[in-house]
Structures are given as C-alpha cells and as structure tokens.
Amino acid sequence: MTVIEKQTLIGKAIPKLDGPKKVTGEARYVQDIELPRMLFAKILRSSRVHARIVRIDTSAARKLPGVHAVITAADTPGVPLGHGKDNPPLKSDKVRSLRDEVAAVAAESEDIAERALSLIEVDYEDLPAVFDPNAALLDDAPVIHESHPDNIPFTYEYSQGDVGQGERDSDVVIEDKFTLHFVTHCCMGVSGAVAQFDADDNLTVYSQTQVPFLYKKDIAPIIDVPPEKIRVIQPSIGGGFGSKLDIYPFEPICILLARATRRPVKLTFTREEEFLASPTRQPVELTLRSGVKKDGTLTFRDVATVHDNGAYTSWGATTPFVIMQTISSLYRVPHCSYRTTVVYTNNPYSGSFRGFGNLQATFAVESHMDKLAEAVAMDPLAFRLQNAQQPGETTPQGMVFRSCGLAECLTTAAERSGFVEKHARYSRYGRGQNGQGGPVKRGVGIASLLHVGGGAKIYRSDGCGTMLKIDDYGHVTVLTGASEIGQGSETVIAQFVAEELGLPISSISVVNDDSELTPWDVGVHASRTTFIAGNSAQRAARKAREKLLAAAATKLELSAEELDLREGNVTRADTGEALLELPRLIRSLHFAKKSEVVMTAEYYEPPSVPQDKEFKGDVSASYAFGTQVVELEVDTETGVIRIVKVTAAHDVGRVINSLGIQGQIEGGVAMGMGYAISEHLLVDEGVIQNPCFRDYKLVTAPEMPEIDMHFIETLDPEGPSGAKGVGEAPAICIAAAVVNAVYNATGTRFDSLPLTPERVLRRLKNHA
Amino acid sequence: MTIEQYAAPETLDELTRLLSGGNALIFAGGTDVMPQTRAGARQFQPYLINASRVAGLRGISREGARIRIGALTTVTDILESNLLSEHVPVLVEAADCFASGQVRNTATLGGNLCNASPAADLAIPLLLVDAELELSSNDNGAPSRRVVPISDFFVAPGKTVLKPTEILTRVIFDAPPSGFRARFIKFGTRPALDIAVVSVGVAGATANMVFAITRVAFGAAAPTPIRGKKTEELLEGRLLVDDTILAASSAAQKDVSPISDVRGSAWYRRELVRTLTERALHDVA
Ligand SMILES: Cc1cc2nc3c(=O)[nH]c(=O)nc-3n(C[C@H](O)[C@H](O)[C@H](O)COP(=O)(O)OP(=O)(O)OC[C@H]3O[C@@H](n4cnc5c(N)ncnc54)[C@H](O)[C@@H]3O)c2cc1C
C-alpha cells in the first residue's frame, strides 16, 4: 500500500500574498484613490504653541477662485475626539500646540487649497506655555485644558505585596532615573483620507485606520453621521505601527469638507506635515528602585513615572497598562508598586506605537537588571535565569503563563552569541585593562521582554469574526474582520484556511478592506491578529471542513473519519488516496435536490478577562517572551556606535509563516535600533526641529547588523496551531541590550536615549 | 515667486546671453534647487534656465598635465571615471560617499560647488588639488571668461564670487605628481545618505624622498569649505611621525570655526576635526 505523506503549510516560508501588488505598484494606497469631481483639502495649523484665538477671518480665502469650502470650528458639531475626548477636530477657543488645526479648505487643487490657507487671517493672543512635564505639575504652571487645572488628565496606581517588606528583605537597593525621548512612526505612506457622501447621505471613507469597526463608533458623533451610515474602505496601508489606532483631526475635517461641498474630498499629508502632525512615542521619565538579595533573588520594585502627554490625549496616555506588566511580571518580583502621572504640556501629543510603553519600561527594567547583577557579582545571564518566569506561573498581577519560553530564550540567545564569555572578556578590556587597545571598544549586552501575545481584553470583547465561502471551483473567499496593515495577517489567515481545507494557498482570497462586507473585529493592536483572527479563521475553516467531509462521506459511503482533504481532493485519511475532486463535491451539493452552499461563520472570543480596578487579571490569552543579545563597537573618539550583531530568540509559540516572523524581527530590530542609537524627534519649546528624513535619522540598510534569529516554539495551548503574537516583541528590548553592551564596552552607563554619536562622546568625555 | 519663462539652451553662447538678461536661476541636476524651493529656503527667479542640454559641459578629460571636468559632469560620472581613479582617487572617494545612487545620477559637480554649502563634499578634494574654476558670461554680446582659484570661490554659506550673469563651465587642475597621496574622511552619523557633520581632506607629495603634507581642507567646519592654513604650515616639510600628527590635529582645531545646528554642536565638530585629521594623517603617513 502506498501512503502519500500529508503536506503542511504551517511553519513554511510563504511570501506575502499582497507582495507582488506592492512591488509592482499595482496596490492602491489612499494617495492613489481618485474619484470623479474630487476636491483636495489642506489644513491651516497653529503658528503658536499656546494662544487664545481672537479672530479668524476666512473671507479672502473663500473668494479665491477654485475654493469650494473653508471651515472653522463653527462649522463642526464641536465634539472632541481622542481617548481623552479633549481634542476638537478644529480649535475654537485656543490652540495648545503647533500642530493644532484651526481652519481647513477644500479646493480644486492642492495648490489652490494651499494658497487659500495663506489668505486666512488668524489673530492670536499668546498664553504662557509649558514644555517640561515636571514644570507643568507646579502650582503656578500655565493651565492647558481648563477642565484639568492641575494639568493631570490621568493617573495610574498599581501595587502587589508590600514594598516596605521587600526593601527590608534586600541586601542591595538601587535607584535610578531613566529619561526617554520623542520618536515617531515614520510610516512610508503618509497620512490621508478620502471621503464621499452619496445622495442618501451614506458616507464612504477611504481610511488608513487599523480599527475599522471601533472607528465607525468613535467618529460618528464627531461628524454627526450615524455609525450605520458609515462605510470604511481600507486601501493598502503604508505602515501603521500603532499610529492608525486613533482618529486624528484630519479625518473628521476631510469628512466635514466632503459634506460641506457635496463632493468627494481627498486630504493627504506632506512628509513634513507627517512629522509635525502625527503622534509620537510618549516621552517618559521613570524612577525605578529595585532590590535584590545577595543570592540573586529579586525582592521589590518601586516605580514612579511622569508621562509627557502633550497637548491632547491619544492612546499614549494609556501605555501604563503595558508598562506595569513588564515591571510586575517579566521577572518574579514579590513586591511591587507603580505610580504614573500623565501630564499635559504644549508639546506634540503621543499615540500608540509598537510596544505601547514597553520600550520605555523594558529599557529601565533591563538596565537595572544588569546593575543589580553586578551589585551581587553575578553574570547578567545567570541573574536573569534565576529570576525568570516559568511555564505555569500566575503572576501577582494575575497573568497566567500557560506557555512561557523565557528561560529558553535567554539560554538560546546567550549560547548562540557566546554572551557569557564575551561579556566577561570585554568588560575587562573596556575598563582599560589588557588588550582591546585603540579607540574602538567592543561590548555585548543582553535584555529580555514580556508582551501580550494573545490579544488584550481592554474592551468588552477581544474577538474577531470570519465568514468563509467556497465556490463551485474550490476557490475559497475568507472575509475577516482583521485589517492588513503590512504585517502579513492576510497571508497567515490564508495559510490557516488552506491548511484545514487541504488546498493550495493560491485557492484562498482574503477580503479584509471593506466594513460593508467584513465581520466585526476589535482591530490591529496588541500583537493580536495571528492569534485572534487566526483562531477565528481556523475555526471557520474547520466548520467548512466538517461540512465537506460529512457530504463526501455520504456520497462515498464511507465515514467522515476515514476521509481527509488534501491537495484539492477528498482523500482517504490513512493512505492519502484521492477519491473525489473537491469542486465536484461542491457542485454536487449545489445541484442536489436539497441544495446547499458551503459557507461558514465564526466569532472567536479569547478566554482572557478584563483587568479589575486594581489592574489585575489575565488580560491576554497568551504571553510572548524574547531575548536579544547585541554585540557592538563604540568608537570612543567619535562616539559612533556600530551594532555588529543581534542574536534574537523569540518565544513565538509556533512558527506559522517563517518569512513573516523573519520580517517582523528584522523590522523590529531596525525600529528598536533607531530608538536606541539614532532616532530623535527634536522638540524645542514645542517646535519640531527636524521634520525631514535628512535630519530625523532612521536606520538605513548599510547599518543593519547581522541578525541571528531563533524561534522558540512553546506550542501555546490556546494559540492557533500553537502560535502566539510576535508583532511588537522584536522592537522592545533592543535599546536595553544596547545600553548594557555600551556599558560592557566602555564602563559608562547611559540612562537616556538615543545614543547618538555626539551624546555618547559628551558622556565619555564628561563634557556637559 | 512664479516662474515666467523656462529655457533649455543647447549652446553656451545662448545660455550666457539669457543669463545676461538677469533675474535667472540656473538649474543643473536640481537636487539642491528643488528641495530648497519646496522648503521655502530659496525663491525661483522669473527665468529658469535648464543648463543640462548645453553641449560640451559634461565630461572629464586630460590635456597634457591639465585635468578638466565639465560643470555638468554628474557625481556618478566622477565615480565611474578611470582617469580620475588613476590620478585623483581622493575625488572619487568623495563621490563614493555622496548621497545615494539616485541623487548621484543627477547631481552635478557645478551644482555642488555653486550651491556653496559648507558641507559640499566635492569641494574638499578640489581644495586639495588647487583646482581653478572657469566662469563664463556674455559681455555685451561677446563671450567672456575668467578663472578663479577654488580657495577664493566661496564667500559665505550659499554665496560665491559668481555673478548673476556668470555660469561655472569647467573645473581645471594639474594632474597630481606621482607620489601624491590624499585622503578624504566624511563624518556623517550613518554610512549613506547623510550630509557631513564634518569632513576632512589631507594631501601630500614626496619631495626629496620625504612624504610631507601640502594641503589640508575642512568641510562643514566653517561658513564655507576651507583650507586648513595653520595645519598646513605646521606640517610643511615635516615627516608624519606621531608627535607631528598630534600637533597637527590640535592645530586643525584652530583652523575651523564651526556652528551648532541639528547635525552637531560646535563643540562636537571641533572634537571631530581633531580626531578625523589625526586619522586622515595616519592613513596617508
Ligand atoms: C537626498 C540628497 C542627498 C544629498 N547628499 C549630498 C552629499 O552627500 N554631499 C553633498 O555635497 N551634497 C549632497 N546633496 C546636495 C546636492 O545633491 C549637491 O549639492 C549637488 O551636487 C547639487 O548639484 P545639482 O546639479 O543638483 O545642482 P542644482 O540643484 O541644479 O543647483 C544648485 C545651485 O547651483 C547653481 N548652479 C548649478 N550649476 C551651475 C553652474 N554650472 N554654474 C553656476 N551655477 C550653477 C544653481 O543655480 C543652484 O543655485 C544632497 C541632496 C539631496 C537631495
């Protein structure tokens, strides 16, 4: 008997399904959308950081030929947007930052719209401004929002155990302050939208949102259109990284202009505007006290942070949710307390950004781990292993680690990079002893991370819907709520479906860009899509599979258990022998007396729970871990850091698409490196000094180090085929590994970023 | 300012006649003109003159001891020139760390010099070989020419001795003697697509069996690309031993007068001038 081996798609390297379209320019981005009679919009932004608006005169702009509408706050419903509902799309009483939207124009061309902006007269009365969050906390500080006279829109407090007890148990206590800077997403596709109303007042928005269903609900009151009359179409998105999780004023402005003109309106940013008016990663000042016993056991952590919220509240204000997790649960710490004050300033405001507070938290925690290890004379690896979380653990914050590969990540990254030996050797050299003469010093650093890997239940549901149909030629259409923002979800979803139905990946189309067709989903965030949408798609496909096998069993007079679906056929389960072509089976269902279409639906809701009022609870269905070792060179005469090699070991649960994970790790390393050594949005008194790629230094191809990747497969019990999320993880811990490596190389420890050549040289030369 | 008239003359004569009318802006590769006008840092003039079709202004040639490079020669042309690789590899080195492939394909030598950025990369090697710049104009109907040494060409950031009616046509210099050695180091914070924070060039030749430095130049360390006169004096005729190199790199700091901007502070630029001078001298020693 010949047995045909079953082929699997899980774990294979599958090129992204949307790749060819993007590479050839066929993909349509919002910039490519052109509708008949379309107008072009431009926004007039504030020229002051903090001022009362005394008068706006738009009469000259309105008279300019080609201008169809000029709107100010008076032409809007006046409902504010954003997480704090403190940000009106157009400002009426005052402006609070340089990006503030004051008026907007729709015209027949961008040029005309721009000329019209220059004709709008705005009189301001300057108000005292504040840029340093600590200064904004003082009693006599200027008030940014009258609703918050103390400039504090949010505070967070968390505690577990008894920090006093922890302190008494400690042999060594260390306290440090870490300061994190402004960086921004730098999506290659700049922001934009196209809005159109039809004769029945139905609105279609071509939007870059990564949360299309929440978007409808959130934007409805701001534009005064009921959510059920809004259709969201998502053209290809040129990068999200969290930036498209919130609604920013430009979208309601575009929609309000479309309504005012009764014509389609397109609004796209210039690159400079993208730098000036998109969200940033939140700058955080983090004071961390930690204790340890002589034997290397962590005793407590006490953390206070001040977040620069900027002038308005977007998701940046909620990053403490994630910061707390790393502080309480990356390693076992019995006693922990954490306080955050989120402070309004006249700076640009912060949004959601890959890692969501975790880059800042991990930078501090993993810098401290190295200091604590040194204080008790342990090597950084052994110290981390001793305190690492283990599978099966429930942390004091209530997270349940059903699978946990932290120890394996640590040992794998360390062994593959030769960390322990190099760390000992370089630190001797770095301190000026034997060898390593010359100005260029080498160092290695290690850091680990914890991040949600199975969604995050911050809404009542963390679910995702799938609808699936198979046509009479065996082609499958999967309608998923999950948005593709370049992360590769479309490909992974197709893989899960193809796997269940025994079809080649080319037989699957994924529809994910039109809210009129697709079922509900929370959105792309929290590294949740492979896990949540993947589970949903897999289950929908399983239902279809059962239906097909049952029908085949009847037709073939066998039992369903004896059958399988492979390579487009119904086969024998044991031998793989093909018995019936799948399209024939489907056609026979269509044309039967009691005819039937093969169509299934699934709504997957993960078994996670929302946190309670004390921020405790098993908020994710799975947790991801990882360790990165960085080897680098520091030129002590120029301050240049060259990252030579990154060894990355990530607990991914199970590899679904190895190319996809590789892409996430490479991209994450590039992004994390930028945060560590080169990216810095320079904000001076609220004014961005470097709104261009010439002076905002993204990491470029020649600087990319060798990356040695290791996927640790812990087979998560709840994950689809065992997988967990890995979207954010690779960017999170590299900055900490870099400062640890710089310390290893030079004996100088940095507590702020980025380690640009000049900042490094200043510290090495003790030049203020 | 909106452009009223655009011309793409095919002869130098035609071009200089157009220039003599005034109110004109020359456009070569456009890699400075376009970003600067878009950013509002520079205004178009009523006349935009595209110089790129003028015959005879692109190319690299040698006549006897003299090497001539047309002003419209692109950075890529320089990078791929065998003649330059053989005689002045330092100019090719500068072209090699210039911008990116796309920009090099259109950016011209003339544009780089006439834009007069203190960070202009090609100016440094040309200062090392005492290049002369040929400036052409139309003097009441008759073609006219003058030659200016490169060290006199730059006046201030964005300003040169070029008159509004003149065009830079050629860059000319003596092929360096055998035994000529030079080095160009551009310091940017990343290896590609970066404007120099500071750049340093050194060149020397062997006389009486002794290799000694004759020229030193700095970019982004003063209002214009400059020669390092104090450093040159210190090094004149001296053997490049460690002490001399150290003394020279301190002298270099006296030659420069850097500013602070988003790319680096004056303090940092001075530090770099010292370190890079030391490294460049070690490289050629
Ligand atoms: C992304 C990018 C990267 C860059 N990187 C570098 C770099 O690494 N190093 C560097 O030095 N520069 C760099 N530049 C600047 C620019 O590319 C160079 O200065 C280039 O050589 C300019 O040449 P062009 O032909 O494009 O000049 P244009 O933009 O056409 O002209 C520049 C100026 O010179 C004038 N001009 C041009 N030709 C003549 C002539 N023959 N006679 C008289 N006037 C003339 C023009 O009127 C204008 O004022 C970069 C620019 C960009 C956009």
- DSSP string over A472-517: TTS-EEEEESPPPSSSSHHHHHHHHHHHHHT--GGGEEEE-SBTTT
What's the gap in Å between the CA of A497 and the closest CA on chain B? 43
Residue with tokens 């002893």: A433
Residues A254-260 have a mean pLDDT of 98
Which candidate in A271, A272, A638, A767 is best for mutational testing of the B interface (most B CBs within 10 A)?
A638
- Going by pLDDT thresholds of 50, 70 and 90, the confidence category of residue A368 is very high
Do the Cβ atoms of A107 and A255 come closer than 8 Å? no
Distance from CA of A421 to the nearest CA of B (A): 30
3-state secondary structure of A193: strand
For the Cβ of B103 lying below 6 angstroms from any atom of ligand 1, the answer is yes
| Interface mutation target, options A636, A700, A704, A766, chain B, most CBs of B under 10 Å | A700
Q: What is the mean pLDDT of chain B?
A: 96
Return the pLDDT at A592: 86
- Of ligand 1's listed atoms, the one at least distance from the Cα of B166 is 43
In three-state secondary structure terms, B251 is helix
Residue A568 has pLDDT above 70, yes or no: yes
- Answer whether B189 sits within 8 Å of A640, measured CB to CB: yes
The total of structural domains in chain B comes to 3
Other CB atoms within 10 A of residue B283 CB: 13
Contacts of B265 in chain A (CB under 8 A): 758
Q: Relative to the CA of B123, which ligand 1 atom is closest? A: 11
pTM, rounded to two decimals = 0.96
Long-range pairs for B205-208: beta carbons < 8 A, 24 or more residues apart: B205/B176, B205/B177, B205/B179, B205/B180, B205/B181, B206/B179, B207/B237
Same domain, B186 and B260: yes
**Chain A residue with Cα closest to B274:** A637
**Residues B46 and B110 grouped into a single domain:** no
Quote the tokens at residue A465. 């819907």
Give the separation between CA A650 and CA A670, rounded to whole angstroms. Answer: 16
Q: Please work out whether the CB of residue B125 comes within 6 Å of at least one atom of ligand 1.
A: no
Measure the CA–CA gap between A324 and A336, rounded to whole angstroms: 10
The pLDDT of residue B94 is 97
Report the residue of chain B nearest A637, measured CA to CA.
B275
Encode pLDDT of A502-560 as tens digits: 999 999 999 999 999 999 999 999 999 999 999 999 999 999 999 999 999 999 999 99
pLDDT for A438 equals 86
Contact A695 B262 (CB under 8 A): yes
Tokens encoding B285: 């020693």
Buried b (16+ CB within 10 A) or exposed e, B247-280: ebbebbbebbebeeeebbbebbbbbbbbbbbbbb
Q: Is the pLDDT of residue A102 over 90?
A: yes
Structure tokens that stand for A298 in this block: 């962590």
CA-nearest residue to A763 within chain B is: B268
Distance, CA of A623 to CA of A405 (rounded, Å): 10
What's the mean pLDDT in A575-603?
Answer: 93
Q: What was the pLDDT predicted at A26?
A: 96
B262 lies within 8 A of chain A by CB: yes
Q: Give pLDDT, residue A429.
A: 62
Could you say which of B189, B195, B271 has the minimum Cβ distance to residue A678?
B189
Q: Is A354 in contact with A241 (CB distance < 8 Å)?
A: yes
Per-residue tokens: A61: 């702009």
What CATH architecture is A33-127+190-237+244-277?
Alpha-Beta Complex (3.90)
B76 and B27, same structural domain? no
Cβ-based burial of A617 (10 A; exposed 0-12, middle 13-18, buried ≥19): middle
Q: Is the pLDDT of residue A431 over 60?
A: no
In sequence order, what are the residues at sequence separation of 6 or more whose Cβ sits closer than 8 angstroms to the Cβ of residue A268?
Answer: A30, A31, A190, A191, A192, A193
Q: pLDDT of A618-667, one tens digit each?
A: 999 999 999 999 999 999 999 999 999 999 999 999 999 999 999 999 99
A303 bridge partner residues: A288, A338
The residues in B 183-202 lying below 8 A from A, measured between CB atoms, are: 187, 189-193, 195
Task: Tell me the CATH class for A280-456+612-766.
Answer: alpha beta
Question: Same domain, yes or no, for B89 and B10?
Answer: no
Nearest to A192 by CA among A266, A87, A101: A266
The DSSP 8-state label assigned to residue A142 in this structure reads: P
What tokens were used for A13? 């390297």
Please tell me whether residues B168 and B195 are part of one structural domain. no
If you measure from the C-alpha of residue A629 to the centroid of ligand 1, how many angstroms do you get, rounded to a whole number? Answer: 42
Decide: helix, strand or coil at residue A549: helix
Q: Would B55 be classed as within a structural domain?
A: no
B97 within a domain of the structure (yes/no): yes
Phi (first) and psi of residue A585, to 5 degrees: -60, -45
Ligand 1 close to Cβ of residue B128 (< 6 A): no
- pLDDT-flagged residues of chain B (< 50): none
**Ligand 1 site, residue B132, Cβ cutoff 6 A:** no
Cβ–Cβ gap A638/B195 under 8 Å: no
Domain at B123, CATH number: 3.30.465.10
Q: Where are the domains of chain A?
A: 19-26+463-604, 33-127+190-237+244-277, 280-456+612-766
Q: Are residues B189 and B217 in the same domain?
A: yes
Supply the residue whose CA is at minimum distance from atom 2 of ligand 1: B99
- B108 and B161 co-located in one domain: yes
- The verdict on residue B233 lying in a domain is yes
CA end-to-end distance (rounded Å), chain B: 52
In a mutational test of the A interface, the residue from B186, B267, B268, B277 whose CB has the highest number of chain A CBs within 10 Å is B268
Residues B70 and B166 both lie in one domain: yes
More confident call, A768 vs A731: A731
Q: Which atom of ligand 1 lies at the shortest distance from residue B109's CA?
A: 21
Q: What is the pLDDT of residues A185-197, one digit of tens each?
A: 999 999 999 999 9
pLDDT of residue A434 exceeding 80, the answer is no
Please write the tens of the pLDDT for every residue from A326-345. Answer: 999 999 999 999 999 999 99
Q: Which pLDDT value is given to residue B178?
A: 86
Structure tokens at A283: 């700058």
Alpha carbons A94 and A123: distance in angstroms, whole number: 11
User: Do B190 and A699 make contact, defined as CB atoms within 8 angstroms?
Assistant: yes
- B167 and B227 housed in the same domain: no
Residue whose entry in the numeric block shows the structure tokens 């609808």: A467
User: Is the predicted pLDDT of residue A375 greater than 80, yes or no?
Assistant: yes
Task: Determine the Cα–Cα distance for residues A653 and A623; give it in Å rounded to an integer.
Answer: 9
User: Considering CB atoms only, which of B189, B195, B275 is closest to A756?
Assistant: B189
Give the Å distances, CA to CA, from B8 to A65, A538, B35, B38, B53: 32, 63, 21, 21, 7
Tell me: pLDDT of A286 over 70. Answer: yes
pLDDT over 90 percentage in chain A:
96
Answer yes or no: same fold for A19-26+463-604 and A280-456+612-766. yes
Q: How far is A376 from chain B (nearest CA, A)?
A: 37
Indicate whether residue B7 lines ligand 1 (CB < 6 A).
no
Task: Tell me the pLDDT band of A365, cut-offs 50, 70 and 90.
Answer: very high
Ligand 1 centroid from CA B108, angstroms: 6
Average pLDDT, chain A: 96
- Residue B126: CB within 6 Å of ligand 1? no
Beta strands in A311-463 (DSSP E): 335-344, 440-452
Q: In what order do the strands lie in the sheet with A641-651?
A: A440-452, A623-635, A641-651, A706-712
Tell me which residue has its CA closest to atom 43 in ligand 1: B167
Instruction: Give the distance (Å) from ligand 1 centre to CA of residue B28.
Output: 8
Tokens, residue B25: 């802006």
CB of B265 less than 8 A from some CB of A = yes
At residue A121, φ and ψ (nearest 5 deg) are: -100, 130
Q: Which residues of A touch B193 (CB under 8 A)?
A: 700
Q: Tokens 């919002």 identify what position?
A: A30
Confidence of residue A105 (pLDDT cuts 50, 70, 90): very high
Report CA-CA distances (Å) from A213 to A190, A228, B61. 22, 11, 66
Where b means 16+ CB within 10 Å and e means fewer, A314-335 reads bbbbbbbbbbbbbbbbbbbbbb
Nearest CA to ligand 1 atom 51: B31
Write out the residue range of the structural domain in which residue B11 sits.
5-50
Instruction: Give yes or no: residues B168 and B65 share one domain.
Output: yes
User: CA-nearest residue of chain B to A767?
Assistant: B267
Position A6 scores a pLDDT of 85
| Residue A380, pLDDT score | 98
* Class (C level, CATH) for A19-26+463-604: alpha beta
Burial tier of A176 (Cβ tally within 10 Å: 0-12, 13-18, 19+): middle
Long-range contacts of A110-117 (CB under 8 A, 24+ apart): A110/A40, A110/A42, A112/A40, A112/A64, A112/A65, A112/A66, A112/A67, A113/A40, A113/A41, A113/A42, A113/A67, A114/A42, A115/A64, A116/A42, A116/A61, A116/A64, A116/A67, A116/A70, A117/A42, A117/A43, A117/A44, A117/A61
Helices and strands in chain A: count of H runs, count of E runs = 19, 30
What confidence category does residue A433 fall into, taking pLDDT thresholds of 50, 70 and 90? very low
ipTM score for this prediction = 0.95
Q: Are residues B202 and B223 in the same domain?
A: yes
Are the CB atoms for B186 and B217 separated by under 8 Å? no
Q: Does B38 touch chain A (CB under 8 A)?
A: no
Stated as kind and residue range, the H or E segment containing B155 is strand B154-156
Do residues B82 and B113 share a domain? Answer: yes
Q: Which of A132, A142, A336, A353 is nearest to A242 (CA)?
A: A353
3-state secondary structure of B136: strand
Distance from the A428 Cα atom to the nearest Cα atom in chain B, whole angstroms: 25
Q: Which residues of A touch B (CB under 8 A)?
A: 272, 637-638, 640, 678, 682, 689-690, 694-695, 697, 699-703, 756-758, 761-762, 765, 767
